[in-house]
Chain A
Amino acid sequence: MDFIGAYSPENLTFLLSGFMVTLKVAAIAIVLSFLLGTIIAIIRYAKVPVLSQILAVAVNIIRNLPLLLIIFFMRFALPEVGINLDIMTAAIAGLTIFEAALISELIRSGLNSIDKGQIEAARSSGLNYIQTLWHIVLPQAVQRMVPPTVSQFIALLKDTSLAVVISLPELMHHARIINGGHQDYVIPIFIMVAFMYFTVNYLLSIFAKRFEAKHA
């Protein structure tokens, strides 16, 4: 094991640049999947006819598939039906679709946890259905949603590593490139990679715990 050679300034900056891509892709995917997940959850919560049934089937298929398969599919299968996504878009699309399915389930259970009496009270005091959702149900559901969403973001940061299969230039891909010619770098580099993931994810999990303790 060659720690000194492995941790040369060039290698470390190369790893960091990969980690920046990991963070960027994860951040974009979490925002998009949160939006998409919220829309799906509201449609299913409001029981919009036809659409909510279609989404129920779609969500159950997506969340029961491996994310790896979905990412691979986005990049290599879609071109056969005329949809060409570049690596970055394919990675973000795969992650977003998968996470949105999971997040929509979290939000739906958050919405369902709001006492039905509140909705009836809001409706009978003259708010319409949209107003009730917007002013009464969503604000409470969102607060309950923060800790599970942070956990989902941690999961997403970890899952971004699966995009190595489509050569997204993220942390794991860069680690593999450095390790390519040097067997004695492998363990030191993977230790550094673990350190990077761990630091960010651990801080996030502490934040989630704090938030939970404060708002419980």
Chain B
Amino acid sequence: MINFSILINYWDMFLEGFQNTLIASMIALLGSFVLGTIIAVFRIAPFRPLNWVGAAYVEFIRNIPLLLIVFVFFYGFKFGGFTAGTLGLIIYTAAFIAEAIRAGILSIPKGQTEAARSSGLTYIQTMRYVILPQAIKVVIPPLGNQSLNLVKNSSILGVVAGLDLMYYADLVSLHTYVVFSVYIIVALFYLAITIPLSFLVEYLERRLTTSY
């Protein structure tokens, strides 16, 4: 029922799309991790206005669709599909990563901060040497989940001609007049990334939650 000869005949296109999906996901993961960390620091920094900025960012971004952010870059600012899609992914995912990091930091008892501060460490030192090394354990499993979502969400590039798997799927099905087989093949490409990633996330969840 599934016509795998399409996979062989259009291998180059599928591979190109697969690579671009991976590249967009990697860039977006790095970018949203950096931005998410900054937002998380904003939210917990001992300075009220920064807290508000961080909270406003998270609340606003979490409650609007990713597609809207991508469209603003694509139609509003006239960015290319790949750039608009990747920027959208960074801005959207950063809100969720910021929340995961914040929850991780807040899970460390306040007494530790107080103890570190009263033994003479500065706020930055307390974060760097006491809080963050412990928080990272709590943060890694949700970060894994976010990267999984990120790979799936990267399909949004296809909507703005972002040269990813979904985009090439569309192209191949226009060439061949076949949709069913093409999308099954594309699904297999996605699963090749997401299934191993989900096993890794589950493994990390088990490892890191039992190691206390």
Q: Is A68 a contact partner of B71 (Cβ separation < 8 A)? A: no
Contact of B191 among A64, A159, A160, A186 (CB under 8 A): A64
Which residues from A are CB-within-8-Å of B76? 186-187, 190
Which of A8-16, A44-52, A161-169 sits within the interface?
Answer: A161-169
Set of chain B residues within 8 Å of A194, measured between Cβ atoms: 60, 64, 68
* A197 at interface by CB-CB < 8 Å: yes
A81 contacts which of B64, B75, B180, B195 (Cβ < 8 Å)? B180
> A25 in the interface, Cβ–Cβ < 8 Å?
no
Say whether, besides A60-B195, A202-B63, A68 and B156 are in contact (CB < 8 Å).
yes
Check B153 against A77 for contact (C-beta < 8 Å). Answer: no
Chain B residues contacting A65 (CB-CB under 8 Å) are: 152, 187, 190-191, 194
Asked whether A152 is an interface residue with its Cβ less than 8 Å from the other chain, the reply is: no
- How many A-B residue contacts, CB cutoff 8 Å? 109
- Asked, given contacts A77-B183, A194-B68, whether A164 binds B194 with beta carbons under 8 Å apart, the answer is no
Count of chain A residues with a beta carbon within 8 Å of a chain B beta carbon: 38
CB within 8 Å of B: which of A46-75?
60-61, 64-69, 72-73
Q: Specify which chain B residues have a CB less than 8 angstroms from the CB of A76 in the assembled complex.
A: 173, 179, 183
Contact B63 A201 (CB under 8 A): yes
Question: Complex formed: what's the CA distance from A194 to B72 in Å?
Answer: 10
Within 8 A of A (CB), among B101-146: none
Distance to closest chain A CB from B94 (angstroms): 16
Q: Does A6 contact B (CB under 8 A)?
A: no
Q: Which of A66, A81, A154, A158 has the most CB of B within 10 A?
A: A66
B191/A69 in contact, CB under 8 A: no
User: How many Å lie between the Cα of A190 and that of B75 in the bound state?
Assistant: 10
Asked whether B88 is an interface residue with its Cβ less than 8 Å from the other chain, the reply is no
Chain A residues near B152: list those with CB within 8 A.
Answer: 64-67
Question: Of B68, B155, B190, B191, which contacts A161 at CB under 8 A?
Answer: B68
Bound complex: CA A78 to CA B184 (Å): 11
* B187 near A80: Cβ-Cβ < 8 Å: no
A158-B64 contact, Cβ under 8 Å, with A65-B190, A165-B159, A190-B76: yes
B67 within 8 A of A: yes
- A80-B71 contact, Cβ under 8 Å, with A69-B187, A154-B63, A197-B64: no
CA distance A133 to B110 in the complex (A): 40
Q: Which of B177-212 contact A (CB under 8 A)?
A: 178-180, 182-184, 186-187, 190-191, 194-195, 198
Is A193 within 8 A of B68, CB to CB? yes
Select the residue from A61, A72, A172 with max chain B CB neighbours within 10 A: A72
> Is the C-beta of B50 less than 8 angstroms from some C-beta in chain A?
no
Q: Mask for B61-85, Cβ within 8 A of A = 1, else 0?
A: 0111111100110011000000000
Known interface pairs A64-B195, A66-B153, A72-B183; A164-B63 also in contact (CB < 8 Å): no
Query: What chain A residues lie within 8 Å of B59 (beta carbons)?
Result: 202, 205
A60: which B residues are within 8 A, CB to CB?
Answer: 195, 198
Q: Which residues of B contact A61 (CB under 8 A)?
A: 187, 191
A11 to chain B, nearest CB (A): 16
Closest to A163 in B: B67
Assuming the contacts A64-B152, A66-B166, A73-B183, asked whether A197 and B63 have C-beta atoms less than 8 A apart, the reply is yes
Contact A80 B67, CB 8 Å, known A61-B191, A186-B76: no
- Contact status B158-A68, CB under 8 Å: yes
The 14 listed contacts between A and B (C-beta, < 8 Å) are A65-B187, A67-B155, A68-B158, A76-B183, A78-B180, A158-B65, A165-B158, A172-B65, A172-B71, A186-B75, A190-B68, A190-B72, A190-B76, A202-B63
5 interchain residue pairs of minimum CB distance? A66-B155, A201-B63, A64-B194, A158-B65, A161-B65
